[in-house]
Structure 1
Amino acid sequence: MSRPSLPTVRLGLRDWDHLVPLMSGRVRVPGFDIRIDAREITPNVLAEPGLDGGETSFSRYVQARAAGDDRLVGLPAFVMRGFRHRCVLVRTDSPLRSLDQLAGARIGLTGWPDSGNTWTRALIRAAGVDLSGITWRVGPLAAGETGKERLGDRPLPSNVSAMPEGESLVGELAAGRLDAILTPFMPSEFFTPASRFRHLLDDHPAAERAYWSATGFVPGIHLVTLKKEVVEAHPELPAALLAGLEESKHHWLGRRRLLTDTTPWLLHALTESATLFGQDWMPYGTARNAAMTAAFCEELYAQGIWPDPIDPAAVFPDPFPEPVAPGPSASATAAA
C-alpha cells in the first residue's frame, strides 16, 4: 500500500549557509515536503505563481502590512540580519571618520526603501544628522547591475534622486562626486590591497558591539514569508516551518563549530560571538524580535518611508509558538 504524498511547499530563498541543512533535506519539516529554490537575488514572492513563499524584504513586508495588504504572512524568522555600521564606505583619502561628519554630505545608496539602508540611515539619524540635509543618490553598486527595484512605490523626498543609466556608486565615489556610499555588500575591489575605499568607521566592530549593548538586537533585513492562500490551506504550516528553520540554524551552527577551517579565523569569530551574544545571535520568534520590530517600524515613519506611524503588532498579528532550540543531544547529533 503506497503512503500518501505530503503537501509540497516551494520556497524561493538565497542560499544562506544556515539554510543548507533544510535545503539539503538533512532537516525536515514534519507533514510537508519543503522544496527550496536557491536564488541569486531576493525573489518577489507575490509575482511568482510557482512559489508558495520565500525570502522577503522586511521593509516591503512591513509597508504592505501597514497598508492593509495581508497577501503575505510573515514568519518571525530573519534569514538575513546584520549590523550596519560596516555598510558606510568612503574613499581611502577621505577626511570623514564618523557618522556625525556626514551632515550635508552627498551619499549614494543601493535602494531608498531597502531594509538595510533604512537601518543605516537610522544610525546616521541617531548621530544627530538631519537626513533632509543630505543629497541622496540611488543606483547600482557597480556598473551593469540589474534586476533590482531601487526606488519603491512611494514619492521620493526632494533630496533623493536616481542615478542616470550607466553610473554606479563605486564610480561616483571614486570620482569624488559622492562623499560616501551605503551598501550591504562590499565592492569586489574592497578585498584587494589596492582598494580605493575603506569603512567610514575605523573600528566598526566596536561600534557594533556598543549598538548591541544599547539595543539588544542585530537588525533584521529579510524574513521568510508564505502566501496567505497557502497558510489558509495548511494552517499548521507556519509553526512547522518556523520550527524547521530553527532546527536548520542550530544544525548549521553545530557543524560550523566542528568544521572551522573554512576561514583562518572562524573559530575565533565563533567563540567571540558566543561570548557576546550567547548561543543565538539571530533568534527567531515574535517575542524575541519585538524590540527590533518596533524600532524598525519607528524608523520607517521617522525617515518618511511610510507616511503614518506603524503599529508593530500589525507586523506579526497571528501568534506563533516561540521556536525551541534543539537540546544538547540534538546539537551533538548535528555536529556528528
Structure 2
Amino acid sequence: MLDDGEIDALFASNAPLAYLAGSPSIAPLFPDHAAREHDRYRRTGIFPIMHTVVAHRGLFEANPGLAQCLYRGFLVAKDAAADRYREARPSFQVTTMVPWMCNLPEENSAMFPENWFPYGIDANRKALETFLRYSHEQGLSQTPRAVDKLFAEELWLT
C-alpha cells in the first residue's frame, strides 16, 4: 500500500519489503535514524519499550498470582536469550552475515547498561511516565494516568 501510494506513511519496526527491494517510491522519514535514536537515548535515558503484554484485569483477579507467574516466565526467557548471546559473544559467532557485526556488542556495551531490556514497572517507570504524559498532552487520553494503575496490583513492586 505504501509503494502504491494508498497510504502516505508507515510506522513499523521492520522496513517494508518494497523498500528493501529498492522501490523509488519509499524513503525513510529520518535517513539517519540510528544516529538520532542514539542521541535521544543519550539525552533522555529512554530506550523505547519494544513489547507489552496486555490481558483483561478480570483474568488476573480470577487467577491470583498469574501476573507474577507470567512476569517471571518472561524474565527467565529473556535471561536465557541474554546468556546465549553472552556465551557466543567472545567468539563473535553471529547468526547473520552482517559486516562489522562483531563491533556491535562493544558499541552497544559502551552505550547501554548490561541489562539492555529491563523488565518491570520500576525499571521502566521513566519511559512509562513519559509515554503517559505524551498521551495526555496529545489528546490520546482525556485524563492523566498513573503508571501503577495500568498494571495488575501484584506487579507493582516489579
- Residue 202 of structure 1: how far off its partner (Å): 3.2
Residue aligning to 2:64: 235
- Give structure 1 stretches of 5+ with no counterpart: 1-141, 143-168, 323-336
Residue aligning to 1:145: none
- Residues 114-133 of structure 1 mapped to structure 2, 5 A cutoff: none
- Please say if residues 294 and 312 of structure 1, whose CA atoms lie closer than 8 Å, have aligned partners that are also in contact: yes
- Give structure 2 stretches of 5+ with no counterpart: none
The SS at the match of 2:52 is strand
1:183 to 2:11 alignment: yes
| Residues 20-58 of structure 1: CA deviation (Å, up to 9, x unaligned) | xxxxxxxxxxxxxxxxxxxxxxxxxxxxxxxxxxxxxxx
- Residue 319 of structure 1: how far off its partner (Å): 4.8
Residue aligning to 1:171: 4
- Of 295, 300, 306, the match for 2:135: 300
Q: CA RMSD in A?
A: 2.5
Distance 2:144 2:61 in 1: 29
| Residues 204-261 of structure 1: CA deviation (Å, up to 9, x unaligned) | 1111111111221212253113343432343222122212211111211222342513
The SS at the match of 1:209 is helix
Residue aligning to 1:157: none
For normalisation by structure 2, the TM-score amounts to: 0.77
Residue aligning to 1:211: 40
| Residues 3-22 of structure 1: CA deviation (Å, up to 9, x unaligned) | xxxxxxxxxxxxxxxxxxxx
TM superposition outliers: structure 1 runs of 4+ over 6 Å:
none
- Please say if residues 133 and 144 of structure 2, whose CA atoms lie closer than 8 Å, have aligned partners that are also in contact: yes
Task: From the superposition, tell whether residues 226 and 309 of structure 1 become closer, same or farther in structure 2 (CA, over 3 Å).
Answer: closer
Residue aligning to 2:28: 199
Distance 2:95 2:50 in 1: 28
Higher Rg: 1
- Of 98, 104, 125, the match for 1:264: 98
Residue aligning to 2:113: 278
Could you tell me the percent identity over the aligned residues? 24
Distance 2:59 2:152 in 1: 17
Structure with greater strand percent: 1
Residue aligning to 1:245: 74
For normalisation by structure 1, the TM-score amounts to: 0.40
Task: From the superposition, tell whether residues 201 and 226 of structure 1 become closer, same or farther in structure 2 (CA, over 3 Å).
Answer: closer
Structure with greater helix percent: 2
- Residues 21-32 of structure 1 mapped to structure 2, 5 A cutoff: none
- Please say if residues 219 and 292 of structure 1, whose CA atoms lie closer than 8 Å, have aligned partners that are also in contact: yes
The SS at the match of 2:54 is strand
- Please say if residues 246 and 284 of structure 1, whose CA atoms lie closer than 8 Å, have aligned partners that are also in contact: yes
| Residues 294-317 of structure 1: CA deviation (Å, up to 9, x unaligned) | 111111122222223223332236
